[in-house]
């Protein structure tokens, strides 16, 4: 990897210039992408186009579906509304207004993340933080709110299309450090985005070093949530400050903190290029640990062999499979959603095919308002068929690990489509009005 790779981004205004786009796609498909791309985020780059997508399989290629807009990602009436708008006007403000109107109908803020998890300190609302689970604080650095490419399913899309500009972001680590000092129960800070690895090493260092230098013995784990290994592995190889990034990782480890690189991979193919192998190896050589997670998505990875191969390849390269998520109820959910019954079947079939080293993975898990809810399976209780569920994380820590039941429903895709089983009037957590972890310091 001695030749520096030059990053080139493609989005709505220039994607027709990608050589593969003009070679493999027809005019109608391009126009449809332009309609959808007005509403949902769209950005791809030369690594994804040259090394990940198999263009002979387009449009069904999973990485193509992952990164390029597709007509069916909008509901027909939304698609028609935007198509008619584009046919009628080229006025940017009008197009944007219609786009925002459609976006507001796509559940832009699922799981109450804007309103319920924002903590405060001495009366100041810390809009760059989320604190939902006792041990872990999420930190959204202001400069990490974009990615090397965008996933068409992403629930963070309101941040990229300018709906949530900086509302979520906090410029300073000062407030984070002060918050951590006031919260000795917090052991983990998860730096997230967008993708924090979009930042220059210098900026990233400005966020991380204060955490190392402050006296925070209870802060044990610094996590970085990133898809850069899948979308731009050259970040760790030939980018100008690639070595500085690795030195920073080493500093974290030398300071006695555990550095967990939470890598987002959606498909086995993302594990297989020479660039990603070398990047993984370099990150691991700093003493950082790589854990992997992905949602389960129709059209992209809804087959057990893809997951089994992905997990096997991850373990072979020294990564630790961590979470399989259920696609969130936002954006193009109708396009990507897999029913919970099928999600569990895929999880189980894949889990059965791998050795114990890959069975560190948990799922399928819904990041819902009350917590991370995992489908453990289905069972027959008396003459009722049920889902057996449990909390992997709970807004109330006492909920974690307690199994509960929901009426089996073959088509349900999310917790809000499930009903309590066995004659219960409600789920146990709905009836639980004990003080929730965040309510003491949340605004609402």
Report CA dihedral (295, 299, 305, 311) to the nearest 10 degrees.
-30
Query: What are the backbone angles phi and psi of residue 263, rounded to the nearest 5°?
Result: -90, 135
Q: By CB under 6 A, tell whether 324 contacts ligand SF4.
A: no
Nearer to ligand PLP, 130 or 173 (CB): 130
227 binds, among ligand SF4, ligand PLP, none (CB under 5 to 8 A by kind): ligand SF4
Determine the interface stretch with ligand SF4 among 71-79, 191-199, 254-262, 311-319 (rule: CB under 6 A).
Answer: 191-199
Look-up of token digits 């895929």: 346
Q: By CB under 6 A, tell whether 129 contacts ligand PLP.
A: no
Considering only CA atoms, which of 357, 334, 344 is closest in space to residue 296? 344
Using CA atoms, how far apart are residues 193 and 257, in angstroms rounded to an integer? 21
H-type alpha helices, 353-432:
428-431
Q: By CB under 6 A, tell whether 116 contacts ligand PLP.
A: no
Find the shortest distance in angstroms from Cβ 135 to ligand PLP. 7
According to DSSP, residue 42 is labeled -
Nearer to ligand PLP, 131 or 312 (CB): 131
Using CA atoms, how far apart are residues 123 and 326, in angstroms rounded to an integer? 35
Nearer to ligand PLP, 38 or 365 (CB): 365
Residue choice 48, 73, 151, 375 for contact with ligand SF4 (CB under 6 A):
151
Using CA atoms, how far apart are residues 177 and 230, in angstroms rounded to an integer? 31
SS3 211: helix
Provide the strand spans (E) within 177-220.
Answer: 188-191
Helix (H) or strand (E) holding 372: strand 371-381
Beta-carbon count within 10 A of 430 CB: 11
Provide the strand spans (E) within 157-264.
Answer: 188-191, 221-226, 258-264
Answer yes or no: are the C-beta atoms of 380 and 332 closer than 8 Å: no
Nearer to ligand PLP, 381 or 443 (CB): 443
Residue choice 70, 227, 235, 362 for contact with ligand SF4 (CB under 6 A):
227
Find the shortest distance in angstroms from Cβ 161 to ligand SF4. 11
Residue choice 64, 68, 133, 429 for contact with ligand PLP (CB under 6 A):
133
CA atoms within 13 A on the CB side of 294: 29
Q: By CB under 6 A, tell whether 194 contacts ligand SF4.
A: yes
Residue choice 46, 100, 101, 136 for contact with ligand PLP (CB under 6 A):
136
CA 12 → CA 17, 31, 32, 117, 193, distances in Å?
10, 10, 11, 33, 22
Residue choice 132, 235, 257, 344 for contact with ligand PLP (CB under 6 A):
132
End-to-end CA distance of the chain: 50
Using CA atoms, how far apart are residues 394 and 271, in angstroms rounded to an integer? 31
Q: By CB under 6 A, tell whether 235 contacts ligand PLP.
A: no
Determine the interface stretch with ligand PLP among 132-140, 266-274, 341-349, 395-403 (rule: CB under 6 A).
Answer: 132-140
Q: By CB under 6 A, tell whether 154 contacts ligand SF4.
A: yes
CA atoms within 13 A on the CB side of 110: 21
Window 367 to 396, contacts with ligand PLP (CB under 6 A) = 367, 372, 392-393
Query: Token pair for residue 352?
Result: 């059965």
Nearer to ligand SF4, 194 or 233 (CB): 194
Determine the interface stretch with ligand PLP among 58-66, 131-139, 205-213, 268-276 (rule: CB under 6 A).
Answer: 131-139
437 binds, among ligand PLP, ligand SF4, none (CB under 5 to 8 A by kind): none
Q: By CB under 6 A, tell whether 156 contacts ligand SF4.
A: yes
Window 179 to 208, contacts with ligand PLP (CB under 6 A) = 190
Nearer to ligand PLP, 133 or 236 (CB): 133
Using CA atoms, how far apart are residues 40 and 331, in angstroms rounded to an integer? 8
Q: By CB under 6 A, tell whether 291 contacts ligand SF4.
A: no
Q: By CB under 6 A, tell whether 44 contacts ligand SF4.
A: no
Footprint of ligand PLP (CB under 6 A): 130, 132-133, 136, 138, 190, 367, 372, 392-393
Footprint of ligand SF4 (CB under 6 A): 147, 150-151, 154, 156, 193-195, 227, 264
């Amino acid at each position: 990897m001695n030749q520096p790779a030059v990053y080139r981004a493609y989005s709505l205004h220039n994607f027709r210039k990608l050589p593969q786009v003009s070679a493999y796609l027809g005019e109608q498909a391009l126009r449809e992408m332009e309609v959808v791309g007005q509403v949902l985020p769209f950005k791809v780059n030369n690594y994804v186009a040259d090394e990940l997508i198999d263009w002979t399989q387009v449009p069904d290629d999973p990485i193509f579906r992952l990164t390029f807009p597709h007509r069916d990602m909008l509901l027909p009436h939304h698609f028609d509304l935007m198509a008619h708008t584009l046919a009628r006007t080229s006025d940017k403000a009008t197009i944007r207004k219609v786009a925002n109107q459609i976006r507001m109908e796509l559940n832009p803020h699922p799981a109450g993340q804007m309103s319920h998890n924002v903590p405060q300190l001495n009366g100041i609302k810390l809009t760059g933080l989320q604190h939902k689970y006792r041990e872990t604080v999420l930190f959204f650095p202001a400069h990490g709110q974009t990615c090397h490419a965008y996933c068409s399913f992403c629930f963070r899309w309101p941040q990229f299309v300018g709906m949530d500009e900086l509302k979520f972001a906090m410029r300073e680590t000062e407030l984070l450090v002060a918050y951590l000092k006031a919260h000795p129960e917090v052991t983990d800070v998860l730096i997230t985005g967008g993708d924090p690895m979009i930042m220059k090493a210098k900026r990233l260092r400005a966020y991380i070093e204060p955490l190392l230098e402050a006296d925070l013995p209870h802060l044990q784990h610094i996590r970085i949530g990133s898809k850069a290994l899948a979308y731009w592995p050259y970040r760790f190889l030939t980018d100008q400050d690639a070595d500085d990034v690795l030195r920073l990782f080493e500093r974290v480890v030398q300071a006695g903190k555990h550095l967990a690189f939470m890598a987002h991979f959606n498909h086995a193919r993302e594990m297989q290029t020479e660039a990603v192998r070398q990047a993984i190896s370099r990150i691991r050589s700093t003493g950082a640990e790589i854990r992997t997670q992905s949602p389960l998505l129709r059209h992209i990875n809804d087959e057990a062999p893809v997951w089994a191969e992905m997990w096997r390849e991850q373990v072979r390269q020294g990564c630790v499979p961590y979470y399989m998520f259920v696609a969130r109820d936002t954006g193009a959910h109708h396009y990507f959603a897999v029913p919970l019954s099928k999600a569990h079947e895929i999880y189980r079939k894949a889990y059965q095919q791998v050795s114990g080293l890959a069975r560190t993975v948990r799922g399928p898990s819904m990041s819902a308002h009350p917590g991370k809810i995992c489908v453990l399976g289905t069972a027959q209780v008396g003459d009722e068929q049920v889902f057996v569920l449990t909390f992997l994380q709970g807004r109330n820590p006492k909920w974690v690990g307690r199994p509960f039941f929901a009426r089996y429903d073959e088509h349900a895709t999310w917790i809000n489509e499930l009903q309590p089983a066995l004659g219960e009037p409600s789920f146990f957590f709905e009836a639980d009005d004990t003080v929730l972890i965040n309510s003491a310091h949340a605004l609402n």
